[in-house]
Structure 1
């Protein structure tokens, strides 16, 4: 109630326009083509994220500019090269990762905010775009991330070479295409939660990631949660939430 009175006083004194006061009271940034959730971080612990696919360059830039006013970090996923290049040209401080297809703006350098780290384990180099999407999401969430790539079951000794580092993580994100067997192997060797991400990498009978998805859903190892095909963002978000809760114990 005190905040409402303060906003009304600012309108009365000419410090805020009616439109600005409405936005603060409703916590919705109305751009016409987008209704931005300006209160999401207070409700959920993580701010509004931009899904750039299908949006025009101008729409993505407009959303970035608006979110910068109220958020310390702005993350956009599935950003095309054209969108990324224009964002970097027109919004100072934007980082664009072509492999992960993400664009990030941060008011201050992204640094770990809690103890421990999250491992993002990718079965193959071809799975890295999805793995890096998860990694960037985690960085924006305040987690330290270690990406371990190309340790799939076709050469399982590569996994064992990095096993102690994987076991030391607070949470593990496991990204795999083809038949998706890596998740069951990893989950059977660790005592931490494993978030599985099936990817659309694979030959014809992998059915665009469906084969890996079904393998992960039917994992015989316990402690596995599965997100949708190629959903690195969703896996990174969930891992970040778990890591944040684990960090409260330190």
Structure 2
């Protein structure tokens, strides 16, 4: 049964009130859902909230095709789809990735940032194996309000960036690496043990979670000091 807060599709109860509660719209997590279910949820959310973008993440190729068939825009590198206009941008979030293999997670983070109301500035392939590449973009990093740093292997990049720049930094470990990386666990532990202060870590491959957190930081008004 539908009300003004929920749409019951039989296989799922869609939260229509999330934006009013949290400032962030409902998002479809596509893994484990059939292409038809993804398309139905996207359609319902778009019909109820045509004034803002809705997002579906972790889509299979078949689910992306189904989303495109009903009118959504597909983002194949990010394995995602959006439908509707993006909100006005507030704040600039840098998405810094170590290597090309990290691209799907970085793209998911960048798209999430845009859907949640901040500008995404993407800087690719600046991993610590070629430190000169990171130093070459240092000035660009210093102009950003929040940083999302995406890396696999040993996960060293957030520590290096955190030692260069003072912006809030969200580290995203990826499941990229050889056997001893244990599917991203090595990168996760390396980031959790970062010697650089101010590094916050999300779960393995969680570009979406990092993107939401970064956009929320950008929405916070600067605190004004009051003279006493």
In the alignment, what sits opposite 1:61? 39
Identify which of 127, 131, 139 aligns with 1:152.
127
In the alignment, what sits opposite 2:81? 103
* Separation in structure 2 between the aligned mates of residue 238 and residue 67 of structure 1, nearest angstrom: 22
* Structure 1 residues 246 and 156: CA distance shift in structure 2, 3 A: farther
In the alignment, what sits opposite 1:4? none
2:139 is paired with a residue whose SS is helix
Identify which of 173, 183, 187 aligns with 1:208.
183
Q: TM-score scaled by structure 2?
A: 0.94
| Structure 2: runs of 5 or more not aligned | none
Identify which of 19, 22, 42 aligns with 1:44.
22
Choose 1 or 2 for highest CA Rg.
1
Number of aligned residue pairs: 222
Q: Check if 1:23 corresponds to 2:15.
A: no
* Separation in structure 2 between the aligned mates of residue 162 and residue 78 of structure 1, nearest angstrom: 30
* Separation in structure 1 between the aligned mates of residue 222 and residue 107 of structure 2, nearest angstrom: 22
Identify which of 104, 113, 119 aligns with 2:89.
113
| Structure 1: runs of 5 or more not aligned | 1-18
Identify which of 82, 87, 90 aligns with 2:67.
87
Contact 2:87 2:116 in 1 (8 A): no
State the Cα RMSD in Å: 1.4
